[in-house]
Amino acid sequence: MEFLWLYSLCQCIVSVAVIVVSVRLCMAVGGAATDSHGGSVGTRPKHGSVSCCLCLCLGWVGAIGGALEIPVIVFLNLRTPQCLYTCITLVCCPLLVRQFTMCLFVLITLDRHLQHHWPSRYSCLVTRQRALCLVLLCWMTSVMTSFGQFISSDILNRWDKKGLDQDTDPGLDGNWTTPSPHLTPPRERMVIGKHLPYGGFLSKFYMDDLRNFTYAEIHSSHWGVCAPDLVLSPQFLVYVHGTAVFMLPLLFLSFLYIDLHCKKTKHLSLSDMPQYDSWRLRSLTFSVSFLVLLCLPIQIIHAVLLFTPSTTLPYWVHAIAVFFFQLYGLVPQVLFTPPGKLESDERAAFALSTPPMAVSPPSGKSTHKALCEAAHVASWASAKNSLKVKVCPEV
């Protein structure tokens, strides 16, 4: 039990870190306007642009998703018996956040690629309305992908079968603090909408008799241990979720990396690559590397469980793979957070925009002569003549 709480604590720390980096991303992107008065500084997105809005959306999704993920992680690790529909919501919420985060990650990467690959056509090709439509489409796709397994008719039968297997298994690690409810004869009560989603919810407020029913009794027809490995099938984890959050982003990032690498080889004969292109190449390298290192282990485990169901893996192997997969939630926010200090670029811009100042002579009367020269070039003639006579009679 102590290892379970330690594992849950480590996962909660990762979620808190995701909240911190997401808030830092929102603050860095939102502060771009104060740095450049509506323009862009270095690699910072312009305030109010499509890139800025997408980065803010990524930050908000990471912050809200990390806050919701903390209680869900603890609840799922306890493996308590719950209603099927409650368990579906708890299991699919982290999948939804991860799927939508990955979609925003792909959109921001594509936006920056178009912005610097086609600078002349970018303003006509990418608009706020089109970006908003894409974000809404990604949200709907994420919802359909995360809950896609449960759009079927035999979900209750499979859940009951797994619940019976877990109930008769002597080696169950679940925490059965609540015993399985026993149905009373139908003539003694009537549960409203028992076979509907969240069936029996109305029966908490209205019943044919005056007996009080517990949550377990109302949802007794779809009751079982709530855990991701019992609710999600290996087919869904490999063919749907693995493809959406691993294979497609990996292919997309690899394509952009190859395209930018080919562009780099063309510039070798001329001069060094532009600074932003080299920074973008390093960013894509980190994106692909972290995606493979942190997300590939859990995908391999899901594939092994799918194609060889008789394989028994140690519990710690799956736990470490899940922890690495959750750790990848830090990568998009960290990669797209603008640099905090760009003093060299700001100094260069300030030096170009500031007129050269006259060099003061080393004599002790430099301040006195500077005042006299200022009086010479003043626009008010009468005041100039009087001030010149009184202050500096002769220069």
The CATH homologous superfamily for domain 2-156+227-339 is Rhodopsin 7-helix transmembrane proteins (1.20.1070.10)
Residue 317: which pLDDT band, with cuts at 50, 70 and 90? very high
Instruction: Give the span between the Cα atoms of 67 and 182, in whole angstroms.
Output: 36
Residue 83 bridge partners (DSSP): 223
Confidence of residue 305 (pLDDT cuts 50, 70, 90): very high
- The answer to whether the beta carbons of residues 393 and 375 sit under 8 Å apart is no
pTM higher than 0.85: no
Residue partners of 149: CB distance under 8 A and separation at least 6: 232, 233, 236, 240
**What is the reported pLDDT for 212?**
61
Q: Which residue has the tokens 């007129």?
A: 355
Give me the amino acid identity at 52: C
Q: Mean pLDDT, to the nearest integer, of 238-253?
A: 94
> What is residue 261's predicted lDDT score, i.e. its pLDDT?
76
Secondary structure in 3-state letters for the chain: CHHHHHHHHHHHHHHHHHHHHHHHHHHHHHCHHHHHCCCCCCCCCCCCCHHHHHHHHHHHHHHHHHHHHHHHHHHHHHCCEEEHHHHHHHHHHHHHHHHHHHHHHHHHHHHHHHHHHCCCCHHHHCCHHHHHHHHHHHHHHHHHHHCHHHCCCCHHHHHHHHHHHHHHCCCCCCCCCCCCCCCCCHHHCCCCCCCCCCCCCHHHCCCCCCCCCCHHHHCHHHEEECCHHHHCCHHHHHHHHHHHHHHHHHHHHHHHHHHHHHHHHHCCCCCCCCHHHHHHHHHHHHHHHHHHHHHHHHHHHHHHHHHCCCCCCCHHHHHHHHHHHHHCCHHHHHHCCCCCCCHHHHHHHHHHHCCCCCCCCCCCCHHHHHHHHHHHCCCCHHHHHHHHHHHCCCC
Average pLDDT over residues 227-247: 92
Q: For tokens 């980190």, what's the residue?
A: 286
CA separation for the pair 250, 230 (Å, rounded): 28
What's the CA gap between 275 and 282, in Å, rounded? 11
Rounded Cα distance, 146 and 200, in Å? 25
Beta-bridge partners for 224: 82
Q: What pLDDT, on a 0 to 100 scale, did the predictor assign at position 119? A: 79
Q: In this prediction, what percent of the chain has a pLDDT beyond 90?
A: 35
Q: Can you read off the two tokens belonging to residue 145?
A: 């992908």
Residues 6 or more apart in contact with residue 154 via CB below 8 angstroms: none
Give the residue-averaged pLDDT of 101-127. Answer: 87
Instruction: List pLDDT tens digits, range 136-188.
Output: 999 999 999 999 888 765 666 666 565 545 543 433 344 434 444 444 444 45
Of the listed ranges 138-142, 228-232, 244-248, the least confidently predicted one is 228-232
Please answer whether residues 226 and 82 qualify as being in contact, where contact means their C-beta atoms are separated by less than 8 angstroms.
yes
Q: pLDDT higher for 261 or 298? A: 298
Tokens of 31: 């502060």
Give per-residue pLDDT as tens, 252-292: 999 988 887 777 665 554 444 556 567 778 888 889 999 99
Q: Shortest CA distance to 151 belongs to which of 240, 80, 69?
A: 240
